[in-house]
Amino acid sequence: MFTLCLGPAGDSLWLRHSSDIFMVKFGIYQTVNIFYLSAPITASIATMLCLPLLKTMPPSEENTPQNPLRRALLRGIPLAALPFCLPSSLLAVAIKHPSQQVSKAELVRLIARETGIAKELILRNLHDAHFTPSIITRITTPYESRSYSEYRPLFLTNRLKKMGHQYLTEQQAIFTKVEKKYHVEPMLIAAILGMETHYGRNRGRDRIVDSLYTLATGFPRRANFFRRELGEFMLLSQEEGRDASRELGSYAGAFGSTQFIPSSFRAYAVDADGDGKRNVWDSPDDIIASVANYFNHHGWQHGRPCAYWLPVSAALTSLAKTGFDTWQPLAKLRQHLPDLPAIWRDNDKVSIIEMRPKQGRRFALVHYNFYVITRWNRSYNYAMAATELAALLGDVTFAVS
């Protein structure tokens, strides 16, 4: 059995066989994660990644016993085309057995350096932290990776619509106050809270310390990010007087009714009820105001639309390929668009994106507000579902068709 995986720093590819370890730099292949594959498939993948290196090896080393990597890769050359003949489901056998690649001692040292927290306190917070391989498996197969035709039915439901209307009614006074202060529509906030946790009903069942510990030590591609989030989580636990070892949340370390990650909590959570705590778990005032504060800080434009479905057209194809890389005033695109609802203005900053709803390939005209939603969650699917749910909850501003 061969094992193909990232090195601890995330910048090298390790090919393991029996007790031998071969290290090969892979450069641009930053999206490669941890793989446990059969020997033929591993050999073929390794060949494709590493063949350029074989050409640069000194001739004197090419066929010597001291160069087993070259010989192993050359044996895999006849199989190099195999991955192209296999269905993606077979190649996706990866990430079944992730392993811890950073020691707890090294993690403690790095967090102490980055946060200023005493090593003794960090060790206390991590004393019973568990490395949980299933967390890495889940984070590499998120709902957002599905097509929109599969993703949309998860959130555009009569049940969530009913729950949203009830929440808007129960918290009407808070929503009115928050909209006046932060200039973010109640229906958008309600849509976000409904999608995240069904208004606090489903906040996650993973211990946050386990999630962040696992991702910081066993998910090389984003290990630095999650290590910083683990440090932020320890800081906020001190600041808010919460027991870090008891907090539950998502497999990605998000928590509360808002599902903030630790750094977002520290930056945007609000103590709206004035009790001295930023309680995004149980305080409706804090929960609603914190979401509004996040969107306000990221440039939300009150009263403006988000998205509008369009048919596929040759005139818009090049723009759809660039997506958020190209923004321009709506006036410049009018000649290529059907008639739009009156709410759309010529000076609206817009872009064109491509998605796949159940009708098949479609384009969508998106306002800068749509991009702001992706600052909360980077997925087009998430932003479109939030837009459609806000419309379903009664705000015609967000109607997409």
Catalytic residues: 196
Structural contact between residues 189 and 224, judged by C-beta atoms closer than 8 angstroms: no
Among 348, 130, 342, 326, which Cα is nearest to 218's?
130
Q: What is the enclosing helix (H) or strand (E) of 150? A: helix 148-151
Distance separating alpha carbons of residues 151 and 302, to the nearest angstrom: 27
Strands of 362-367's sheet in order across: 307-310, 362-367, 349-355, 328-329
Q: Write the DSSP symbol of residue 297.
A: H
3-state secondary structure of 24: strand
Q: What is the enclosing helix (H) or strand (E) of 184? A: none
3-state secondary structure of 362: strand
Among 224, 34, 280, which Cα is nearest to 135's?
34
3-state secondary structure of 319: helix
Tokens 């309600």 belong to which residue?
190
